[in-house]
Amino acid sequence: MKMKIALFLGLLLITNMSFADDLKIGFVNIPAVLEKAPQAEKAKKRLEQEFSPRDKQLVAQQKEIQNMDEKLARDAAVMGESARANMEKDILNKKRDAKRAQQEFSEDFNVRRNEELGKLQSKIVEVIRDIAKTQNFDLLLTDGVIYASEQIDVTAQVQQKLSALPN
């Protein structure tokens, strides 16, 4: 689809050079904007703060399982058959619980990360649209651009305006 649009624009520019003289085109490097946006850093810190307790809990759970595994390996020879079987069962149950908790953690983290990314992307789109309107751009391109001269690159302007927004 992007290739078709690029071909259409190229043909339009070639066939109607007088129109091309009046056309104002710009380019925005979205990955660069995302990388330098102060909102991205704040979102990352919010996620770390929100998920840090659960992460610590998962680490503690893994350490407990590891300690139980080591104890079983060390004491298995002197344990009774039923005690060893009970410990193996406990370890198996704890591993199952830990695996489930890790999966839930990953799913919850991904959902929240996507929410934060969606909010940031919406802000970026607002800023890009505002720049396009205030500077009378006819077309602002983002993804799929192989080359863009510095004259049409408005990425820095988007980053500046995004930095000025409240976090």
CATH number at residue 154: 3.30.910.20
Structure-model confidence comparison of residues 151 and 73, the more confident one: 73
- Its domain, for residue 112, covers 24-164
Please indicate, yes or no, if residue 99 is contained in any of the structural domains.
yes
- Convert the pLDDT of each residue in 35-58 to its tens digit: 889 999 999 999 999 999 999 999
Which residue's entry shows tokens 């927004």? 165
CB atoms within 10 A of CB 28: 26
Please indicate, yes or no, if residue 4 is contained in any of the structural domains.
no
Residue 147 structure tokens? 């080359």
Q: Which of 55, 33, 17 is nearest to 153 (CA)?
A: 33
Q: What percent of the chain has a predicted confidence (pLDDT) above 70?
A: 83
What are the φ and ψ backbone dihedral angles of 153, each rounded to 5 degrees? Answer: -80, 115
Q: Which of 45, 56, 90 is nearest to 71 (CA)?
A: 90
Structure-model confidence comparison of residues 166 and 117, the more confident one: 117
